[in-house]
Amino acid sequence: MNWRTHQRTTFLVASGLSTAGSFAGLTAKGWILMDGSGNALVLALHFAVLALPALLVSGPAGVATDKLGCEAVLIRSQWGLFAAGILGAVAIPLSNGDLQVVLLLLSTLLVGIASSYELTARNKYCALLVEDPQQLAPYLTSFSVVFNVGKLVGPPIGGWLLAWTGAGTALAIDAATYLIPIASVLWLLHPNRGLEQRSVAGASSGLRAAWRGSGPVLRHVLIYTALACLLGFFHPGLAPLMARDLLGPSPQALGLFTSVLAAGSISGGLVLQRHSRWLSQRPGLLLGSCTLITATAQLAMAAFSGPETLVIGLAATFALGAGTASLLAGVNLISQVGSSMAIRGRMAGLGQIAFLGGGGLSGLLAAAMSLTLGLQGTFAVLGAAGFVLGLQELISRRGLRLKLRSV
């Protein structure tokens, strides 16, 4: 293993530990909020303040990444995540009641904002750690696998820490995990900074310039992604409702449901990583297939619900995780390897915007529909629309090709 490979592995592991800590902290805060308020609306607000800031912040985050440099923004964003985590930790001993709820929600809001900067900067930073541009695609998709592994192991870690150490200590330990990527970037990694291209002040440094300069293929990818996410990426916000409908109302049911989702996400990420370069050159095939898998899973959930069809429901849940995770990771991959170094920060920001706030907006749409159509009716309508969208993409864009950038 040469030193470049060692660097990539170090950054991947550091990011994975930070991701697991992040999900552990979010799980602990969610339990504290529910236990203290008993209000499900507070839980929904907790998810909203985490996910929705990406819609407003990802654009400026991408602009800052291209102007200031990805390494500088990466370090600052990690310090921001650490400060947000510490705010949640000190809120436990220093406050109670409504004030504690407000401070915990503020902590999560700051995590959401800092994460938007961290994601855009990290994507561009990865290109400085690879020796050969051909290594960038599989390296970028590795972060999808790491993210979903962290999503799988983080919640139980958060629950164990909460039970063993208490709320304040659990959140402090989780906050400390943000120091690991900071230490690795400051002292362990030596990126090839000469490869980075920054934007200069002026009209050419804005999002609009990146949008125009990205080319018709990437513009199509971003527009299509927003439509696909609106129809299919709503499970982050509705997971408790979906788990109750499929498995029952117990916490164990929610844990099993999210574990199966995460297992599907990890599997989809591994497949994408294995074929990352080939698939990134065929965006129509990649996006259309992911949308069809997701839509088929939704239609299965509409047709089969309840204990008597548990196996089918869990298989559909697995497919839902695989389809949505591959779509998000695939768009992130395509937007990076298909754009020039000078606009990669802004392309990452545009990609985050296309995800509609991490499923926040699509979750609100699905929740509103479920009030009148019911959950199964919502699955049926959105699944049918997603199936048509994915099929149309595969038929009309099957010959679409993306030229990969050499740097």
Average pLDDT over residues 235-254: 77
Residue 322: HSE in the Cβ half-sphere, 13 Å Cα cutoff: 21
Distance separating alpha carbons of residues 254 and 232, to the nearest angstrom: 20
pLDDT per position as a tens digit, 256-306: 888 899 999 999 999 999 999 999 999 999 999 999 999 999 999 998 866
Q: Is the pLDDT of residue 246 over 90?
A: no
Query: What is the model's pLDDT at position 251?
Result: 61
- Give the separation between CA 125 and CA 330, rounded to whole angstroms: 18
Question: For residue 354, which of 225, 235, 231 has the smallest C-alpha distance?
Answer: 225
Which of 31-40, 205-214, 362-371 bottoms out in mean pLDDT, i.e. has the lowest? 31-40
| Tokens read off for 305 | 């619900």
**2: confidence class by pLDDT, cuts 50, 70, 90:** low
CB 390 within 8 A of CB 289: yes
Q: How confident is the model at residue 230 (pLDDT cuts 50, 70, 90)?
A: very high
Whether residue 360 contacts residue 48, with contact meaning beta carbons closer than 8 Å, is answered with yes
Amino acid 406: pLDDT: 64
| Count of CA atoms in the C-beta half-sphere (13 A) of 302 | 18
Region 371-384 average pLDDT: 93
Cα 320 to Cα 25, 52, 261, 383, distances in angstroms: 25, 21, 7, 11
CA separation for the pair 112, 106 (Å, rounded): 10
The whole-angstrom separation of Cα 327 and Cα 291 is 7
Measured distance CA(265)–CA(324) in Å, rounded: 7
Q: Quote the CA–CA distance of 343 and 350 in Å, as a whole number.
A: 10
Q: Is the pLDDT of residue 225 over 90?
A: yes
Q: Which two tokens stand for residue 137?
A: 């695609």
pLDDT at 395 over 70: yes
At 310 the pLDDT is: 84
Q: Is the dihedral of CA 235, 239, 242, 247 positive or negative?
A: positive
**pLDDT attached to residue 41:** 67
CA atoms within 13 A on the CB side of 378: 24
Report the pLDDT value the prediction gives residue 214, as an integer from 0 to 100.
Answer: 93
Least confident of 37-51, 178-192, 325-339: 37-51
Mean pLDDT over residues 348-366, rounded?
A: 87
As a whole-number percent, the residues of the chain with pLDDT over 90 amount to 61
Rounded-to-integer distance, Cα 47 and Cα 346, Å: 25
For residue 159, the model assigns a pLDDT of 80
C-alpha 257/C-alpha 263 separation (Å) is: 10
* pLDDT tens-digit series, residues 145-204: 999 898 888 888 888 888 888 888 889 998 999 999 999 999 999 899 999 988 887 778
**Nearest to 162, CA basis, from 18, 35, 13:** 35
Whole-angstrom Cα Rg for the chain: 20
Give yes or no for a contact between 393 and 287, defined as CB atoms under 8 angstroms apart. Answer: yes
**pTM (two decimals):** 0.91
Asked whether the predicted pLDDT for residue 110 surpasses 60, the reply is yes
- Report the alpha-carbon distance of residue 191 to residue 238 in Å, rounded: 40
Lowest average pLDDT, out of 100-109, 154-163, 295-304, 318-327, goes to 154-163
What CA–CA distance (Å, rounded) separates 350 from 62? 8
Predicted confidence band of residue 322 (pLDDT cuts 50, 70, 90): very high
The per-residue pLDDT for 4 is 60
**Do residues 286 and 332 lie in contact, with contact meaning Cβ atoms separated by under 8 Å?**
no
Average the pLDDT over each of 249-253, 283-287, 315-319, 329-333 and give the range with the smallest value.
249-253
Phi-psi region of 35 (alpha: psi -120 to 50; beta: other; left: phi over 0): alpha
In which band, very low, low, confident or very high, does the pLDDT at 357 lie, cut at 50, 70 and 90?
Answer: confident
| Interatomic CA distance for residues 287 and 291, integer angstroms | 6
Residue 352 in this model has a pLDDT that exceeds 60: yes
Give the rounded distance of the alpha carbon of 48 from its chain centre: 14
